[in-house]
Homo-oligomer: A and B are copies of this chain.
Protein backbone atom coordinates (compact mmCIF):
# COMPACT_ATOMS: atom_id res chain seq x y z
CA UNK A 1 0.00 0.00 0.00
CA UNK A 2 1.81 3.07 -1.12
CA UNK A 3 -0.43 5.28 -3.23
CA UNK A 4 -2.42 8.24 -2.04
CA UNK A 5 -5.24 9.38 -4.30
CA UNK A 6 -6.12 13.03 -3.90
CA UNK A 7 -9.35 14.19 -5.47
CA UNK A 8 -10.12 17.88 -5.92
CA UNK A 9 -13.90 18.04 -5.73
CA UNK A 10 -14.08 21.60 -7.02
CA UNK A 11 -12.01 21.01 -10.16
CA UNK A 12 -13.08 17.34 -10.36
CA UNK A 13 -9.51 16.27 -10.92
CA UNK A 14 -7.28 13.78 -9.13
CA UNK A 15 -3.68 12.79 -8.73
CA UNK A 16 -1.61 9.98 -7.29
CA UNK A 17 1.19 10.60 -4.84
CA UNK A 18 3.53 8.79 -2.52
CA UNK A 19 2.99 9.35 1.19
CA UNK A 20 5.47 11.66 2.89
CA UNK A 21 7.80 10.19 5.44
CA UNK A 22 5.65 11.23 8.36
CA UNK A 23 2.84 8.98 7.11
CA UNK A 24 5.09 5.96 6.63
CA UNK A 25 3.94 2.96 8.62
CA UNK A 26 0.62 4.58 9.47
CA UNK A 27 -2.73 3.04 8.58
CA UNK A 28 -6.38 3.47 9.50
CA UNK A 29 -6.97 5.97 12.28
CA UNK A 30 -3.24 6.69 12.66
CA UNK A 31 -3.19 7.85 9.05
CA UNK A 32 -6.45 9.81 9.00
CA UNK A 33 -5.80 11.65 12.25
CA UNK A 34 -2.25 12.53 11.25
CA UNK A 35 -3.40 13.85 7.90
CA UNK A 36 -6.24 15.91 9.38
CA UNK A 37 -3.81 17.40 11.90
CA UNK A 38 -1.22 18.21 9.24
CA UNK A 39 -3.41 19.40 6.40
CA UNK A 40 -6.73 20.76 7.71
CA UNK A 41 -6.72 24.23 9.31
CA UNK A 42 -8.19 23.41 12.70
CA UNK A 43 -10.47 26.43 12.88
CA UNK A 44 -11.93 25.97 9.40
CA UNK A 45 -15.62 25.49 8.74
CA UNK A 46 -16.13 21.71 8.65
CA UNK A 47 -18.41 22.01 5.63
CA UNK A 48 -16.19 24.54 3.87
CA UNK A 49 -13.49 24.16 1.27
CA UNK A 50 -10.64 23.76 3.74
CA UNK A 51 -11.88 20.53 5.30
CA UNK A 52 -10.72 17.21 3.87
CA UNK A 53 -12.27 13.78 4.02
CA UNK A 54 -9.70 11.02 4.28
CA UNK A 55 -10.27 7.27 3.93
CA UNK A 56 -7.52 4.91 5.00
CA UNK A 57 -7.64 1.14 5.43
CA UNK A 58 -5.89 -0.33 8.45
CA UNK A 59 -2.41 -1.80 8.31
CA UNK A 60 -3.71 -5.36 8.13
CA UNK A 61 -6.39 -4.64 5.54
CA UNK A 62 -6.25 -6.77 2.43
CA UNK A 63 -4.44 -9.60 4.20
CA UNK A 64 -6.27 -12.72 5.27
CA UNK A 65 -6.04 -11.75 8.95
CA UNK A 66 -9.31 -12.45 10.69
CA UNK A 67 -11.49 -9.39 11.32
CA UNK A 68 -9.13 -6.96 9.63
CA UNK A 69 -11.63 -5.34 7.28
CA UNK A 70 -12.29 -2.00 8.93
CA UNK A 71 -11.90 1.23 7.02
CA UNK A 72 -11.16 4.52 8.79
CA UNK A 73 -12.63 7.82 7.67
CA UNK A 74 -11.36 11.10 9.09
CA UNK A 75 -12.17 14.81 8.85
CA UNK A 76 -12.92 17.80 11.00
CA UNK A 77 -16.32 16.84 12.35
CA UNK A 78 -19.27 19.11 11.62
CA UNK A 79 -20.91 17.64 14.73
CA UNK A 80 -18.15 17.98 17.33
CA UNK A 81 -16.14 20.61 15.44
CA UNK A 82 -13.08 18.66 16.53
CA UNK A 83 -11.19 15.86 14.86
CA UNK A 84 -13.12 12.75 13.89
CA UNK A 85 -12.21 9.22 13.00
CA UNK A 86 -15.00 6.79 12.37
CA UNK A 87 -14.43 3.26 11.15
CA UNK A 88 -16.70 0.72 9.57
CA UNK A 89 -16.86 -2.76 8.09
CA UNK A 90 -18.24 -3.61 4.70
CA UNK A 91 -16.32 -4.37 1.56
CA UNK A 92 -14.32 -1.22 0.93
CA UNK A 93 -11.25 -1.53 3.18
CA UNK A 94 -9.93 -4.77 1.76
CA UNK A 95 -10.55 -3.72 -1.82
CA UNK A 96 -8.78 -0.39 -1.31
CA UNK A 97 -5.80 -2.12 0.27
CA UNK A 98 -5.58 -4.70 -2.51
CA UNK A 99 -5.29 -1.93 -5.08
CA UNK A 100 -2.23 -0.65 -3.24
CA UNK A 101 -4.03 2.46 -2.09
CA UNK A 102 -2.98 3.82 1.25
CA UNK A 103 -5.53 6.60 1.37
CA UNK A 104 -8.19 8.43 -0.60
CA UNK A 105 -8.35 12.15 0.18
CA UNK A 106 -11.25 14.39 -0.88
CA UNK A 107 -10.31 18.06 -0.99
CA UNK A 108 -11.84 21.49 -1.68
CA UNK A 109 -15.53 21.89 -2.48
CA UNK A 110 -17.59 22.66 -5.57
CA UNK A 111 -18.96 26.11 -6.32
CA UNK A 112 -21.85 24.65 -8.31
CA UNK A 113 -24.60 22.26 -7.23
CA UNK A 114 -23.72 19.35 -9.48
CA UNK A 115 -23.31 15.97 -7.84
CA UNK A 116 -20.81 13.29 -8.76
CA UNK A 117 -19.75 9.74 -8.03
CA UNK A 118 -16.15 8.67 -7.80
CA UNK A 119 -15.17 5.31 -9.26
CA UNK A 120 -11.82 3.99 -8.12
CA UNK A 121 -10.34 1.06 -9.98
CA UNK A 122 -6.93 -0.55 -9.93
CA UNK A 123 -5.40 1.88 -12.38
CA UNK A 124 -7.98 4.60 -12.79
CA UNK A 125 -10.10 7.19 -11.04
CA UNK A 126 -13.28 8.47 -12.66
CA UNK A 127 -15.39 11.36 -11.40
CA UNK A 128 -18.73 11.05 -13.13
CA UNK A 129 -22.15 12.67 -12.69
CA UNK A 130 -24.30 11.06 -10.00
CA UNK A 131 -27.34 11.39 -12.26
CA UNK A 132 -30.60 10.22 -10.79
CA UNK A 133 -28.98 8.81 -7.65
CA UNK A 134 -29.14 12.32 -6.21
CA UNK A 135 -32.02 12.38 -3.75
CA UNK A 136 -32.11 8.62 -3.35
CA UNK A 137 -31.77 6.59 -0.18
CA UNK A 138 -28.78 4.38 0.38
CA UNK A 139 -30.61 1.10 -0.37
CA UNK A 140 -31.47 2.14 -3.87
CA UNK A 141 -28.12 3.84 -4.34
CA UNK A 142 -26.18 0.71 -3.52
CA UNK A 143 -28.53 -1.53 -5.52
CA UNK A 144 -28.19 0.57 -8.63
CA UNK A 145 -24.44 0.84 -8.27
CA UNK A 146 -24.15 -2.93 -7.87
CA UNK A 147 -26.27 -3.40 -10.98
CA UNK A 148 -23.84 -1.22 -12.86
CA UNK A 149 -20.51 -2.08 -11.24
CA UNK A 150 -21.04 -5.51 -9.70
CA UNK A 151 -20.21 -6.39 -6.08
CA UNK A 152 -18.00 -3.39 -5.47
CA UNK A 153 -17.26 -1.55 -2.29
CA UNK A 154 -19.66 1.38 -2.03
CA UNK A 155 -19.49 4.33 0.35
CA UNK A 156 -22.43 6.70 -0.05
CA UNK A 157 -24.70 9.25 1.54
CA UNK A 158 -28.46 9.29 1.72
CA UNK A 159 -30.78 12.26 2.00
CA UNK A 160 -29.23 13.36 5.30
CA UNK A 161 -25.73 13.71 3.91
CA UNK A 162 -27.06 15.45 0.83
CA UNK A 163 -28.73 17.97 3.13
CA UNK A 164 -25.44 18.43 5.04
CA UNK A 165 -27.03 17.38 8.30
CA UNK A 166 -24.44 17.06 11.00
CA UNK A 167 -25.73 13.67 12.16
CA UNK A 168 -25.34 12.26 8.66
CA UNK A 169 -23.48 8.99 8.29
CA UNK A 170 -21.83 7.48 5.27
CA UNK A 171 -23.25 4.02 4.66
CA UNK A 172 -21.24 1.16 3.20
CA UNK A 173 -22.37 -1.79 1.15
CA UNK A 174 -22.19 -4.93 3.27
CA UNK A 175 -21.37 -8.30 1.68
CA UNK A 176 -25.03 -8.64 0.63
CA UNK A 177 -25.21 -5.21 -0.99
CA UNK A 178 -27.21 -3.64 1.80
CA UNK A 179 -26.37 -0.40 3.57
CA UNK A 180 -26.10 -2.11 6.95
CA UNK A 181 -22.66 -0.71 7.73
CA UNK A 182 -21.92 2.89 8.54
CA UNK A 183 -19.39 5.52 9.34
CA UNK A 184 -21.91 6.54 11.92
CA UNK A 185 -20.55 9.09 14.27
CA UNK A 186 -19.55 12.70 13.92
CA UNK A 187 -21.49 13.68 10.82
CA UNK A 188 -18.94 12.61 8.21
CA UNK A 189 -21.81 12.11 5.76
CA UNK A 190 -22.25 15.88 5.76
CA UNK A 191 -18.59 16.31 4.82
CA UNK A 192 -19.00 13.98 1.84
CA UNK A 193 -22.22 15.84 1.00
CA UNK A 194 -20.49 19.22 1.27
CA UNK A 195 -18.21 18.06 -1.53
CA UNK A 196 -21.24 17.07 -3.66
CA UNK A 197 -20.19 13.43 -3.77
CA UNK A 198 -23.05 10.93 -3.65
CA UNK A 199 -21.02 7.72 -3.73
CA UNK A 200 -17.54 6.30 -3.96
CA UNK A 201 -17.32 3.00 -5.80
CA UNK A 202 -14.36 0.77 -5.02
CA UNK A 203 -13.78 -1.79 -7.76
CA UNK A 204 -10.68 -3.90 -7.17
CA UNK A 205 -11.03 -6.11 -10.23
CA UNK A 206 -7.62 -7.39 -11.23
CA UNK A 207 -6.09 -6.87 -7.80
CA UNK A 208 -4.82 -9.53 -5.45
CA UNK A 209 -4.11 -9.89 -1.76
CA UNK A 210 -1.51 -7.54 -0.38
CA UNK A 211 2.05 -8.76 -0.18
CA UNK A 212 3.03 -10.60 2.97
CA UNK A 213 6.70 -10.51 3.92
CA UNK A 214 6.70 -13.85 5.73
CA UNK A 215 3.77 -15.92 4.56
CA UNK A 216 4.36 -18.93 6.80
CA UNK A 217 4.70 -16.83 9.89
CA UNK A 218 1.58 -14.95 8.90
CA UNK A 219 -0.46 -18.09 8.37
CA UNK A 220 0.66 -19.43 11.73
CA UNK A 221 -0.06 -16.18 13.51
CA UNK A 222 -3.47 -15.86 11.88
CA UNK A 223 -4.41 -19.37 12.96
CA UNK A 224 -3.69 -18.56 16.60
CA UNK A 225 -5.42 -15.21 16.15
CA UNK A 226 -8.60 -16.70 14.68
CA UNK A 227 -8.74 -19.31 17.39
CA UNK A 228 -8.36 -16.66 20.08
CA UNK A 229 -11.33 -14.81 18.61
CA UNK A 230 -13.57 -17.85 18.34
CA UNK A 231 -12.54 -19.32 21.70
CA UNK A 232 -13.49 -16.29 23.79
CA UNK A 233 -16.97 -16.48 25.31
CA UNK A 234 -17.92 -12.96 24.14
CA UNK A 235 -16.57 -12.96 20.58
CA UNK A 236 -16.97 -16.69 20.09
CA UNK A 237 -20.37 -17.30 21.70
CA UNK A 238 -22.35 -14.26 22.88
CA UNK A 239 -21.88 -12.07 19.82
CA UNK A 240 -22.53 -14.76 17.18
CA UNK A 241 -25.63 -16.03 19.00
CA UNK A 242 -27.34 -12.77 19.87
CA UNK A 243 -25.40 -10.02 18.12
CA UNK A 244 -24.28 -7.03 20.14
CA UNK A 245 -27.82 -6.92 21.53
CA UNK A 246 -26.67 -9.65 23.90
CA UNK A 247 -25.80 -6.62 26.04
CA UNK A 248 -29.40 -5.47 26.56
CA UNK A 249 -30.10 -7.83 29.43
CA UNK A 250 -26.57 -7.58 30.79
CA UNK A 251 -26.41 -3.78 30.91
CA UNK A 252 -30.00 -3.55 32.12
CA UNK A 253 -29.24 -5.99 34.91
CA UNK A 254 -26.20 -3.89 35.80
CA UNK A 255 -28.50 -0.88 36.16
CA UNK A 256 -26.55 1.06 33.54
CA UNK A 257 -29.12 0.88 30.72
CA UNK A 258 -30.08 4.52 30.14
CA UNK A 259 -33.83 4.81 30.14
CA UNK A 260 -36.04 7.78 29.22
CA UNK A 261 -33.20 10.07 28.21
CA UNK A 262 -30.89 8.87 30.99
CA UNK A 263 -33.37 9.22 33.83
CA UNK A 264 -33.04 5.67 35.10
CA UNK A 265 -30.70 2.73 34.71
CA UNK A 266 -33.26 -0.01 34.07
CA UNK A 267 -35.98 -0.36 31.45
CA UNK A 268 -38.94 -2.44 32.51
CA UNK A 269 -39.41 -3.76 28.97
CA UNK A 270 -35.76 -4.64 28.43
CA UNK A 271 -36.60 -8.26 27.74
CA UNK A 272 -38.80 -7.25 24.79
CA UNK A 273 -35.83 -5.67 23.05
CA UNK A 274 -33.10 -8.04 24.21
CA UNK A 275 -30.62 -10.01 22.12
CA UNK A 276 -32.39 -13.19 23.14
CA UNK A 277 -35.71 -11.83 21.89
CA UNK A 278 -34.03 -10.53 18.74
CA UNK A 279 -32.47 -13.89 17.97
CA UNK A 280 -35.76 -15.70 18.64
CA UNK A 281 -37.68 -13.32 16.39
CA UNK A 282 -35.14 -13.58 13.59
CA UNK A 283 -35.29 -17.37 13.75
CA UNK A 284 -39.10 -17.41 13.70
CA UNK A 285 -39.15 -15.09 10.68
CA UNK A 286 -36.40 -16.93 8.84
CA UNK A 287 -33.89 -14.11 8.90
CA UNK A 288 -30.18 -14.58 9.51
CA UNK A 289 -29.07 -14.75 13.13
CA UNK A 290 -25.37 -14.38 12.48
CA UNK A 291 -23.32 -13.02 9.59
CA UNK A 292 -20.09 -11.06 9.16
CA UNK A 293 -19.97 -7.42 8.18
CA UNK A 294 -16.93 -8.05 5.99
CA UNK A 295 -15.22 -11.05 4.41
CA UNK A 296 -12.78 -12.62 6.85
CA UNK A 297 -14.89 -11.92 9.93
CA UNK A 298 -15.00 -14.92 12.27
CA UNK A 299 -17.17 -13.27 14.93
CA UNK A 300 -20.24 -12.64 12.76
CA UNK A 301 -22.22 -10.39 15.11
CA UNK A 302 -24.38 -9.00 12.31
CA UNK A 303 -27.76 -10.34 11.31
CA UNK A 304 -30.73 -9.95 8.98
CA UNK A 305 -33.98 -8.94 10.64
CA UNK A 306 -37.19 -9.62 8.74
CA UNK A 307 -40.62 -8.15 9.30
CA UNK A 308 -43.68 -10.09 10.44
CA UNK A 309 -44.28 -11.30 6.89
CA UNK A 310 -40.75 -12.59 6.56
CA UNK A 311 -39.60 -9.82 4.27
CA UNK A 312 -36.22 -8.14 4.76
CA UNK A 313 -36.42 -5.18 7.11
CA UNK A 314 -32.92 -4.30 8.31
CA UNK A 315 -29.47 -5.64 9.06
CA UNK A 316 -26.56 -4.66 11.29
CA UNK A 317 -29.04 -4.15 14.09
CA UNK A 318 -26.76 -3.19 16.96
CA UNK A 319 -27.15 -3.02 20.72
CA UNK A 320 -26.55 0.72 20.74
CA UNK A 321 -29.20 1.23 18.07
CA UNK A 322 -31.73 -0.90 19.91
CA UNK A 323 -30.99 0.98 23.11
CA UNK A 324 -31.14 4.42 21.46
CA UNK A 325 -34.49 3.87 19.77
CA UNK A 326 -35.70 1.60 22.59
CA UNK A 327 -35.04 2.18 26.28
CA UNK A 328 -33.89 5.73 25.71
CA UNK A 329 -37.20 6.68 24.13
CA UNK A 330 -39.31 4.10 26.07
CA UNK A 331 -40.25 2.36 22.81
CA UNK A 332 -40.61 -1.35 23.52
CA UNK A 333 -41.68 -2.72 20.14
CA UNK A 334 -38.70 -4.31 18.41
CA UNK A 335 -40.35 -3.93 15.01
CA UNK A 336 -40.74 -0.18 15.50
CA UNK A 337 -37.11 -0.01 16.53
CA UNK A 338 -36.12 -2.01 13.45
CA UNK A 339 -38.00 0.44 11.22
CA UNK A 340 -36.17 3.34 12.90
CA UNK A 341 -32.88 1.56 12.22
CA UNK A 342 -33.89 0.92 8.62
CA UNK A 343 -34.83 4.58 8.09
CA UNK A 344 -31.55 5.72 9.62
CA UNK A 345 -29.60 3.49 7.27
CA UNK A 346 -31.74 4.58 4.34
CA UNK A 347 -31.35 8.32 4.94
CA UNK A 348 -27.78 7.88 6.18
CA UNK A 349 -28.00 8.90 9.83
CA UNK A 350 -26.13 7.89 12.96
CA UNK A 351 -28.54 5.68 14.92
CA UNK A 352 -27.12 6.63 18.34
CA UNK A 353 -27.46 10.32 17.54
CA UNK A 354 -30.98 9.83 16.20
CA UNK A 355 -32.17 7.81 19.19
CA UNK A 356 -30.89 10.41 21.61
CA UNK A 357 -32.39 13.14 19.42
CA UNK A 358 -35.81 11.50 19.46
CA UNK A 359 -35.47 11.39 23.25
CA UNK A 360 -34.91 15.15 23.22
CA UNK A 361 -37.92 15.64 20.95
CA UNK A 362 -39.89 13.64 23.52
CA UNK A 363 -38.58 15.88 26.32
CA UNK A 364 -39.88 18.80 24.25
CA UNK A 365 -43.29 17.18 23.77
CA UNK A 366 -42.91 16.91 19.99
CA UNK A 367 -43.57 13.16 20.24
CA UNK A 368 -44.96 11.22 23.23
CA UNK A 369 -42.59 9.02 25.21
CA UNK A 370 -42.66 5.42 24.03
CA UNK A 371 -44.68 6.08 20.88
CA UNK A 372 -42.87 4.12 18.20
CA UNK A 373 -45.21 5.02 15.36
CA UNK A 374 -44.90 8.74 16.06
CA UNK A 375 -41.13 8.39 16.35
CA UNK A 376 -41.08 6.79 12.91
CA UNK A 377 -43.11 9.67 11.50
CA UNK A 378 -40.68 12.09 13.11
CA UNK A 379 -37.66 10.41 11.54
CA UNK A 380 -39.39 10.38 8.17
CA UNK A 381 -39.31 14.19 8.31
CA UNK A 382 -35.55 13.96 7.76
CA UNK A 383 -36.11 12.18 4.47
CA UNK A 384 -38.67 14.77 3.48
CA UNK A 385 -36.31 17.64 4.26
CA UNK A 386 -38.98 19.55 6.17
CA UNK A 387 -38.02 22.17 8.73
CA UNK A 388 -38.71 19.63 11.47
CA UNK A 389 -36.49 17.18 9.63
CA UNK A 390 -33.73 19.79 9.47
CA UNK A 391 -33.88 20.04 13.25
CA UNK A 392 -33.92 16.30 13.95
CA UNK A 393 -31.27 15.48 11.36
CA UNK A 394 -28.84 17.80 13.02
CA UNK A 395 -28.78 15.79 16.20
CA UNK A 396 -29.44 15.99 19.90
CA UNK A 397 -27.52 19.11 20.88
CA UNK A 398 -29.10 20.98 17.98
CA UNK A 399 -32.60 19.71 18.75
CA UNK A 400 -32.07 20.60 22.40
CA UNK A 401 -31.31 24.17 21.36
CA UNK A 402 -34.27 24.30 18.99
CA UNK A 403 -36.64 23.47 21.84
CA UNK A 404 -34.76 25.03 24.74
CA UNK A 405 -34.14 21.70 26.46
CA UNK A 406 -31.23 21.81 28.89
CA UNK A 407 -31.18 18.06 29.62
CA UNK A 408 -29.15 16.89 26.64
CA UNK A 409 -26.68 14.00 27.04
CA UNK A 410 -23.80 15.02 24.80
CA UNK A 411 -20.07 15.58 25.11
CA UNK A 412 -18.49 17.84 22.50
CA UNK A 413 -22.00 17.92 21.00
CA UNK A 414 -21.96 14.17 20.29
CA UNK A 415 -24.63 12.01 21.92
CA UNK A 416 -23.77 9.61 24.71
CA UNK A 417 -24.22 5.95 23.79
CA UNK A 418 -25.90 3.11 25.59
CA UNK A 419 -24.08 2.99 28.92
CA UNK A 420 -24.94 5.39 31.70
CA UNK A 421 -21.70 7.03 32.77
CA UNK A 422 -22.77 7.14 36.40
CA UNK A 423 -23.00 3.35 36.55
CA UNK A 424 -20.14 2.55 34.15
CA UNK A 425 -17.66 5.13 35.27
CA UNK A 426 -14.82 3.87 33.11
CA UNK A 427 -16.88 4.50 30.00
CA UNK A 428 -17.95 7.83 31.45
CA UNK A 429 -14.29 8.84 31.62
CA UNK A 430 -13.94 7.85 27.97
CA UNK A 431 -17.02 9.89 27.03
CA UNK A 432 -15.68 12.95 28.79
CA UNK A 433 -12.09 12.83 27.63
CA UNK A 434 -11.98 11.20 24.22
CA UNK A 435 -10.99 13.71 21.54
CA UNK A 436 -13.79 12.13 19.50
CA UNK A 437 -16.61 13.29 21.79
CA UNK A 438 -18.85 10.85 23.65
CA UNK A 439 -17.99 7.48 22.11
CA UNK A 440 -18.04 4.08 23.76
CA UNK A 441 -15.81 2.60 21.07
CA UNK A 442 -13.00 5.01 21.95
CA UNK A 443 -12.25 3.14 25.19
CA UNK A 444 -14.74 0.44 26.00
CA UNK A 445 -14.43 0.21 29.77
CA UNK A 446 -17.66 -1.74 29.88
CA UNK A 447 -15.33 -4.72 29.54
CA UNK A 448 -13.72 -4.46 33.01
CA UNK A 449 -16.65 -2.50 34.51
CA UNK A 450 -19.36 -5.03 33.77
CA UNK A 451 -18.21 -7.93 31.60
CA UNK A 452 -15.20 -8.92 33.73
CA UNK A 453 -13.10 -8.89 30.58
CA UNK A 454 -9.56 -7.56 30.92
CA UNK A 455 -9.78 -7.60 34.69
CA UNK A 456 -12.46 -6.05 36.83
CA UNK A 457 -13.06 -2.49 37.96
CA UNK A 458 -16.02 -1.32 40.05
CA UNK A 459 -18.33 0.60 37.67
CA UNK A 460 -19.90 2.65 40.46
CA UNK A 461 -16.72 3.99 42.07
CA UNK A 462 -13.99 6.20 40.74
CA UNK A 463 -11.31 3.66 41.73
CA UNK A 464 -8.90 3.21 38.83
CA UNK A 465 -11.39 4.08 36.14
CA UNK A 466 -9.28 6.96 34.86
CA UNK A 467 -6.37 4.57 34.28
CA UNK A 468 -8.71 1.93 32.84
CA UNK A 469 -10.08 4.42 30.33
CA UNK A 470 -6.63 5.72 29.41
CA UNK A 471 -5.24 2.27 28.70
CA UNK A 472 -8.26 1.28 26.67
CA UNK A 473 -8.20 4.51 24.67
CA UNK A 474 -4.55 3.85 23.77
CA UNK A 475 -5.19 0.21 22.88
CA UNK A 476 -8.27 1.09 20.86
CA UNK A 477 -6.45 3.71 18.82
CA UNK A 478 -3.86 1.09 17.91
CA UNK A 479 -6.55 -1.45 17.00
CA UNK A 480 -8.18 1.20 14.79
CA UNK A 481 -4.82 1.78 13.11
CA UNK A 482 -4.43 -1.93 12.42
CA UNK A 483 -7.90 -1.96 10.86
CA UNK A 484 -9.16 -4.62 13.22
CA UNK A 485 -12.71 -4.94 14.45
CA UNK A 486 -12.98 -3.54 17.97
CA UNK A 487 -14.43 -6.81 19.24
CA UNK A 488 -11.02 -8.40 19.00
CA UNK A 489 -10.38 -6.46 22.19
CA UNK A 490 -12.33 -9.03 24.23
CA UNK A 491 -10.01 -11.95 23.46
CA UNK A 492 -6.96 -9.69 23.36
CA UNK A 493 -7.66 -8.36 26.84
CA UNK A 494 -8.17 -11.85 28.26
CA UNK A 495 -5.57 -13.78 26.26
CA UNK A 496 -2.28 -14.67 27.93
CA UNK A 497 -0.35 -13.19 24.99
CA UNK A 498 -2.75 -10.33 24.43
CA UNK A 499 -1.42 -7.62 22.18
CA UNK A 500 1.47 -9.87 21.07
CA UNK A 501 -0.99 -11.73 18.84
CA UNK A 502 -1.54 -8.56 16.81
CA UNK A 503 2.16 -7.72 16.82
CA UNK A 504 2.92 -11.15 15.39
CA UNK A 505 0.51 -10.56 12.51
CA UNK A 506 1.97 -7.13 11.77
CA UNK A 507 5.55 -8.36 11.92
CA UNK A 508 4.85 -11.26 9.60
CA UNK A 509 3.03 -8.99 7.16
CA UNK A 510 5.50 -6.14 7.15
CA UNK A 511 8.71 -8.04 7.82
CA UNK A 512 9.10 -5.82 10.82
CA UNK A 513 10.18 -6.43 14.39
CA UNK A 514 7.65 -4.45 16.31
CA UNK A 515 7.09 -5.01 20.03
CA UNK A 516 4.01 -4.48 22.17
CA UNK A 517 5.65 -1.25 23.33
CA UNK A 518 5.51 -0.01 19.75
CA UNK A 519 1.78 -0.69 19.69
CA UNK A 520 1.31 1.34 22.86
CA UNK A 521 3.44 4.11 21.38
CA UNK A 522 1.36 4.09 18.21
CA UNK A 523 -1.92 4.33 20.13
CA UNK A 524 -0.52 7.11 22.27
CA UNK A 525 0.71 9.05 19.25
CA UNK A 526 -2.71 8.86 17.61
CA UNK A 527 -4.34 10.35 20.68
CA UNK A 528 -1.68 13.05 20.86
CA UNK A 529 -2.33 13.99 17.24
CA UNK A 530 -6.06 14.18 17.88
CA UNK A 531 -5.71 16.19 21.06
CA UNK A 532 -3.36 18.58 19.29
CA UNK A 533 -5.85 19.16 16.49
CA UNK A 534 -8.62 19.84 18.96
CA UNK A 535 -6.40 22.26 20.86
CA UNK A 536 -5.69 24.13 17.63
CA UNK A 537 -9.43 24.17 16.98
CA UNK A 538 -9.98 25.88 20.34
CA UNK A 539 -10.86 22.97 22.61
CA UNK A 540 -9.74 23.10 26.22
CA UNK A 541 -10.07 20.92 29.32
CA UNK A 542 -13.45 22.64 29.79
CA UNK A 543 -14.73 20.56 26.90
CA UNK A 544 -13.73 17.33 28.63
CA UNK A 545 -16.81 17.09 30.79
CA UNK A 546 -20.22 15.53 31.04
CA UNK A 547 -23.28 17.78 30.97
CA UNK A 548 -24.71 18.87 34.29
CA UNK A 549 -27.66 16.47 34.06
CA UNK A 550 -25.28 13.78 35.35
CA UNK A 551 -24.84 15.69 38.59
CA UNK A 552 -28.22 14.18 39.53
CA UNK A 553 -28.22 10.73 41.04
CA UNK A 554 -30.22 7.99 39.37
CA UNK A 555 -31.77 4.62 40.11
CA UNK A 556 -31.23 1.78 40.81
CA UNK A 557 -27.80 2.59 42.21
CA UNK A 558 -28.52 6.06 43.53
CA UNK A 559 -25.14 7.15 42.24
CA UNK A 560 -23.92 10.42 40.69
CA UNK A 561 -21.16 11.10 38.22
CA UNK A 562 -18.95 13.20 40.47
CA UNK A 563 -15.65 13.58 38.60
CA UNK A 564 -13.88 16.93 38.78
CA UNK A 565 -12.14 18.60 35.85
CA UNK A 566 -8.89 18.01 37.69
CA UNK A 567 -9.48 14.27 37.98
CA UNK A 568 -10.50 13.90 34.35
CA UNK A 569 -7.58 15.97 33.11
CA UNK A 570 -5.24 13.16 34.16
CA UNK A 571 -6.75 10.70 31.72
CA UNK A 572 -4.91 11.73 28.57
CA UNK A 573 -2.33 14.04 30.09
CA UNK A 574 0.52 12.88 27.86
CA UNK A 575 3.88 14.56 28.17
Contacts and interface: CB of A to CB of B under 8 A. Distances in A.
A43 B550 CA distance: 14
A538 interface: yes
Interface stretch (A130-138, A335-343, A397-405, A502-510): A397-405
Contacts of A545: 43
Interface stretch (A176-184, A386-394, A468-476): A386-394
Question: In this complex, which of A164, A166, A390, A404 has the most chain B Cβ atoms within 10 angstroms of its Cβ?
Answer: A404
Interface stretch (A45-53, A234-242, A416-424, A488-496): A45-53
Contacts of A394: 401-402
Interface string A241-277: 0000000000000000000000000000000000000
Interface in A176-198: 190, 193-194
B404 A401 contact: no
6 contacts: A43-B542, A45-B547, A48-B548, A386-B387, A387-B388, A394-B401
- Looking at chain A's contact residues, is the secondary structure mostly helix, strand, loop, or mixed? loop
B547 A542 contact: no
Contacts of A59: none
Interface in A286-308: none
A205 interface: no
Contacts of A559: none
A402 B406 contact: no
Interface string A187-230: 00010011000000000000000000000000000000000000
A537 interface: yes
Contacts of A321: none
B543 A45 contact: no
A521 interface: no
Given A387-B387, A391-B390, A193 B406 contact: no
A542 B539 CA distance: 9
B44 A548 contact: yes
Nearest to A48: B406
A201 to B, nearest CB: 24
A353 to B, nearest CB: 14
B548 A542 contact: no
Given A44-B548, A45-B547, A536-B542, A194 B406 contact: yes
Interface in A533-560: 536-540, 542-543, 545, 547-548
A328 interface: no
Contacts of A542: 42-43, 536-538
Nearest to A388: B387
A48 B408 CA distance: 11
A33 interface: no
B543 A538 contact: yes
A184 B251 CA distance: 48
A61 interface: no
Interface in A136-181: 163-166
Given A43-B542, A542-B537, A548-B48, A190 B404 contact: yes
Given A45-B406, A45-B547, 16 more contacts: A43-B545, A45-B548, A163-B403, A164-B404, A166-B401, A190-B404, A194-B406, A386-B387, A390-B402, A390-B403, A391-B402, A394-B402, A398-B398, A538-B540, A538-B542, A538-B543
